[in-house]
């Protein structure tokens, strides 16, 4: 039976955690990123559909491509972050349902053949998976700085639409790790920090 986490763990995940605007020099390793993915993937999604797709951007070239499509205030943060994760979602997620949800996945595919249902489901559950990523990162001692200030259409085209499977992805938001943060939020109090990184590959 599960037990309540201690106060230190709750602080690290929620109460003392802050959104970061700058980073430590500490690198984020590929092993840490794999550990991160292997945690976040357990977060629940409807019918275990897991529609989120993650692009891990670590190279200088990738960061520059990404920063060029970001809001001016966000671009320097992307260039400075050891890793930026683009969180997108796959509108063709239902193709994977027989594998991801053996009990009823095949039967549920017809339900998602309606584009509106598929889009709503992918957006909702992809957003959840982005949140699972943040909390999983915190659990591993890494910080995140979520950002939605970017050109969504251009990001889709630059990072997703050229996918060889011709699956249509839509960008949701991107995440990165950093150390500085904004002044304390109302009733937030003082909080802690750390770092995260990335890699240009998709986990499918
Ligand atoms: C979906 C989302 C989009 C955000 N977009 C941006 C952004 O474009 N630029 C930025 O500097 N911060 C962005 N933030 C950071 C928020 O302002 C920050 O998480 C919020 O103020 C809470 O801060 P705290 O975690 O330090 O309490 C975003 C956060 C979320 C969750």
**Cα of 182 to ligand 1 centre, how many Å?**
9
State the distance from the centre of ligand 1 to the C-alpha of 108, rounded, in angstroms: 35
Domain extents in the chain:
16-182+190-203
Q: What is the DSSP letter of 150?
A: B
If one residue of 19, 81, 184 were mutated to test the ligand 1 pocket, choosing by the most ligand atoms within 8 A of its CB, it would be: 19
Q: Kindly report, residue by residue over 63-96, the tens digit of the pLDDT.
A: 899 899 888 998 988 888 888 888 888 888 999 9
Q: What is the pLDDT of residues 130-181, one digit of tens each?
A: 899 999 999 998 888 888 888 887 887 787 754 433 333 333 334 444 445 5
Q: Which of 95, 90, 119 is nearest to 109 (CA)?
A: 95
Report pTM. Answer: 0.83
CATH topology of domain 16-182+190-203: NADH Oxidase (3.40.109)
- State the distance from the centre of ligand 1 to the C-alpha of 165, rounded, in angstroms: 32
Residue 16 near residue 192, CB atoms below 8 Å: yes
Closest Cα partner for 98 from 49, 53, 54? 49
Ligand 1 mean position to 148 CA, how many Å?
8
Substitution candidate for ligand 1 out of 81, 130, 146 with most atoms within 8 A of CB: 146
């Amino acid at each position: 039976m599960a037990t309540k986490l201690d106060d230190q763990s709750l602080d690290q995940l929620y109460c003392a955690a802050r959104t970061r605007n700058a980073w430590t020099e500490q690198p984020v390793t590929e092993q840490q990123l794999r550990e991160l993915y292997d945690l976040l993937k357990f977060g629940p999604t409807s019918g275990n559909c897991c529609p989120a797709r993650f692009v891990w951007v670590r190279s200088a070239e990738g960061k520059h491509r990404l920063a060029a499509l970001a809001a001016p205030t966000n671009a320097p943060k992307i260039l400075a972050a050891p890793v930026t994760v683009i969180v997108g979602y796959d509108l063709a997620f239902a193709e994977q349902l027989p594998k991801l949800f053996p009990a009823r996945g095949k039967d549920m595919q017809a339900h998602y053949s309606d584009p509106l249902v598929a889009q709503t489901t992918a957006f909702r559950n992809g957003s959840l998976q982005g949140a699972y990523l943040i909390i999983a990162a915190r659990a591993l001692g890494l910080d995140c700085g979520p950002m939605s200030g970017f050109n969504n259409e251009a990001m889709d085209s630059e990072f997703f639409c050229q996918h060889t499977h011709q699956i249509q992805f839509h960008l949701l938001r991107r995440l990165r790790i950093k150390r500085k943060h904004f002044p304390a939020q109302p009733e937030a109090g003082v909080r802690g920090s750390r770092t995260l990184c990335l890699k240009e590959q998709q986990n499918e």
